[in-house]
Chains A and B, each alone.
Chain A
Amino acid sequence: MAVIDTPSETVAAAPEETTAPRPTPAGIAGALGSGDHKVIGRFYIGTALIFTALGLALGALFGVERVAPDTLSIFGAETVFQFWVLERLGLVFLVALPLMVGVGMAVVPLQVGSRAIAFPRAAAASYWGWLFGSLLFVASFAINGGPGGGSQTGVTLWIASLGLIIVSVLLAAVCIATTVLTLRQTGMTTNDVPMFSWSMLVASVLWLLTLPVAIAQLALVYIDYRLGGGNTIGANAEMFGNFTWLIENPQAYVVAIPVLGFAVDVLATTAGVRIAPRSAAAGAIGAFGVFSFGAFLAGSSAHDHKAWIVVALGLAAVLPVLAILGLVGDLFRRGSFRINAGALYAIGALLILLLTVLAGALASIPALETYGTVIQLAVSKGAVLAAVTAALGGIHWWATKLGRNAALETAGRLTPVLFLAGAVLVIAPEVASGLLGKDGTNEVVPSWAGGLPALNAAVAVGFVLALVGLLVAVATHKPLGSRELSRDSDPWDGQTLEWLAPSPPPLDNFVEPLPVVTSGEPLIDLREEK
C-alpha cells in the first residue's frame, strides 16, 4: 500500500473491495513509500538482522576482552566504555526490540484477520524513524560520542538518537496494539486472539508504559548536559547509569514477552490440538508482562534493588514461564509430538527464557548478595537471546507469509540448537561468576572487566555459537526471496487466520472472505465443519 492510498481500516469495506485485491505498487518508490505492514515488517527484520550480527560479534569480542582485560585491550582503554554501552543498549534497541516489532508488524494483522495494520503511515514512520535513529546512534559513537565520549556534539547526538529510537518503537507499539484491539475479524473476542498477537499486545502495552520513562530521563540528561553543565544528573561517563534499569531485572524481560506467545502458537499447531485452557495461557503471558514492569526502578539506588517488590518480581517472573512450559507439555500429551524447525525454535526460545528468569531470580535474592554483579549481564543477554531465537523462529514459521517461499526445513533445525547452546554458555558463566567470584580477588561488577576470566572465555564461545546460528538462519531463509512462488500457503496445518492468506499475501492480505470466528482456532473449526 502506498502511503497516498486510503488505509483500509478507516473506511467501511465494500464487498467488492474485500474480494478484488488492488495491485501492489512496484519498484523502489513502491517499497520506500509503502504502508503495507508486511513490507514494513520485512524492512524491520532485514535491518535488525544486520545489527544482530554486529551485536553478537561485539558480544563475542567483549567475552574475549574480559578474559584478560588488562593485557588484551581489544577496544582500547579510552574507548572501551563507549563500546560497552553500544553493546549493552544496542542489543536491546537495535536488535531484540526491532526484530520483535518486525515479526509482530508483519504477522499480527494477518493473525487477527485484518486487511491492514492500524495507522499504516505511522507504522511506516516508525520504521524510518527507528532506522534513522539507529544509524545516528551508531554514528554518535563513531564521532567520539555516547556516554563517556569526548565530543559534545557526539554525546548530544547519542541522546537525541536514542530518543528517536524509543519514540519510533512506541509508535510501532501503538500501531500493533491498536490492530489487536480494534481490527479483529468479526466474532473474534479477546479470548480468541492468537497467542502471538496477544503477547505482542501485552508487550506493546508494557513498552508504552515503561519506555516513556526512558524518554523522560533522556530529556533530563539533555537539559543537564547541554544547559546545566552536566554536574547534576551525572557527568558524561555516569550518564549511562541512568539507563541501566532498562537492561536489568525485571525490565530486561519486556523484550522477551512475545517469546511466550510465539511458543504457544507454534507448539499448539505442531501438536495439532487446541490450546486449553486458553485463559491460562493468556493469563500467564499477561502475568509475565506485569512482572516485567521495571520502570519504577528508574533513577533508583542499589538499596532500592533490595526492596521487597524487586525481590518478589524477580522470583514471580519464573512462574509464568513454568506455566507456559506446563501448558506446552499438556499440548504434546494430548496431541502428537512432531519435531520440526518451528517447534525446535519455540522450545529453544522457551528454555533460554527459563534460564534467563532463573538467573533473574538468583539476582533478586538479597541473601546471595548478587545485586550489582555480572549476573545482571546474564539476565539482559539471556532475554535478548530468547527474543532473537523467537524472532528467527517466527521468520521461519511464517516464511510463506513474509516471503515467497518456505524456509529450508532441515537446515533450519540447526539454528535453535546453536542458539540454545550459545545461550547456555552466555548465561551460566555469568551466573557462576556472580555467585562464586565475590572473594575480593575478582572484579564482578557488570563491566567489560567483570567476571571470572576462565568463565568469560565460555561467554565468548557462546556468542560465537549464536552468531553461527544467525548465519545458518539467514542461509535457511534464502528461499523467502526466491522467484519461485510457494504452492502451499499452509505448510503446518495451521489453526489461525493467517494461514487462510495466500502466499505471499496480497496488499489487502486475504483474497477470500474470512469466516466468522467462533473460537481461538478458527481453522480447526473449518476442518471439523467439513
Chain B
Amino acid sequence: MAASGTLAVPAAEPVRPRTVLVGTVLAAAASFVGIMALLGMYVAHRSAALSAGKTWLPDKATIPLTPSNMAFGTMLLSGLAIWWAVDAVRRDDRRTAYLALGLTLLFGLAVINATVFIIKVSLIPVNTVPGVYFYGVVGAHLVMMIVGLLYVLSQTIRTLAGDSGPGNVEGLTSAAIFWTAAVAALGVIWIAVYIAK
C-alpha cells in the first residue's frame, strides 16, 4: 500500500499468472486424495480384521520389505533430483539440469520396476479382501507415478528444446510438485502397507 500522500499506482499485469502451477497443484491434490482414500479403506479393513482376532494377509502371502525399502529410498532420491533440476534451470546451469532430469526419470522407472516386482512376489490372492485393497492402493500409485513420469518427461523435452530457462521454470516446477506428491504418497504407503502390512 502506498504511503499517504504518494500516488497509488496499480500493480502491473502479471506476465505469467502461474496458471500451470496452480492447475497442477489442484490436480496433484486430487490425485493424492484418491490414493489416501484407498489407503484409508485398506487400513480400516485391516484394523477391523485384526480387532476381530483374524489375520490380515492370507497364508503364503507376503509383502517383502527389502524391495519396498529400496523403492521408497529410490523415490526419495528422485524427489531430490527433480528439485535439483529446477534449481539448475533457474541458475541456467543446463548441463546439471539435464543430469538431474535424467536421474529423476531413471529413479522413477526403477521405482515402477520395484513396484511391479512387489506385486508379482506378494502372492496375495485378488479374490480376498486384502488382495482387492492391496492391488487397489499399489495400482493407483503406479498410475500416479506413470502420469508423473510422463509429465517430467514432457518438461525434460521442453528443457532440452530450450523452452525452460531462468525466467521460466513454471512448467518444470509444476512437474516437480506433482512428482513430490507422488513421493509423499509412496511415503505414506510405505509406512501403512509395506512396513505395517
Contacts and interface: CB of A to CB of B under 8 A. Distances in A.
Nearest to A295: B37
B160 interface: no
A317 interface: no
Contact of B19 (A119, A187, A216): A119
Contacts of A119: 19, 23
Contacts of A175: 23
Which range contains the number of A residues in contact with the other chain? 35 or more
A367 interface: no
Interface stretch (A229-237, A358-366, A471-479): A229-237
A174 B27 contact: yes
Nearest to B41: A299
Contacts of A182: 17-19, 22
9 contacts: A119-B19, A122-B23, A178-B19, A182-B22, A187-B10, A211-B30, A212-B30, A219-B140, A232-B131
Of B19, B22, B30, which is in contact with the most chain A CB atoms at under 10 Å from its CB?
Answer: B30
Contact of B34 (A10, A177, A178, A212): A212
Interface of B: 10-13, 15-19, 22-23, 26-27, 29-31, 33-35, 37-38, 41, 44, 126-129, 131-133, 135-136, 139-140
Given A208-B30, A212-B34, A216-B37, A9 B127 contact: no
B19 to A, nearest CB: 5
Most buried by A among B35, B41, B131: B41
Which secondary structure dominates chain B's binding surface? helix
A20 B123 CA distance: 65
B163 to A, nearest CB: 12
A215 B34 contact: yes
Interface in A174-231: 174-175, 177-178, 181-183, 186-187, 205, 208-213, 215-217, 219-220, 223-224, 227-229, 231
Contacts of A215: 34
Contact of B30 (A118, A209, A299): A209
Contacts of A173: 26
Nearest to A205: B26
A298 interface: yes
Given A208-B26, A217-B41, 19 more contacts: A122-B23, A174-B27, A177-B22, A205-B26, A212-B30, A212-B31, A216-B35, A216-B41, A219-B38, A220-B38, A220-B136, A223-B136, A227-B127, A227-B135, A228-B131, A232-B128, A295-B33, A295-B37, A299-B41
Contacts of B140: 216, 219
B13 A186 contact: yes
Nearest to A227: B126
A197 to B, nearest CB: 15
Contacts of A170: 30
B154 to A, nearest CB: 14
Contacts of A216: 34-35, 37-38, 41, 136, 140
B75 to A, nearest CB: 21
Nearest to B32: A212
A223 B29 CA distance: 24
B29 A208 contact: yes
B88 to A, nearest CB: 24
Closest 9 CB pairs of A and B: A212-B34, A213-B37, A228-B127, A216-B37, A182-B17, A178-B23, A516-B10, A208-B30, A216-B38
A209 B129 contact: no
A4 interface: no
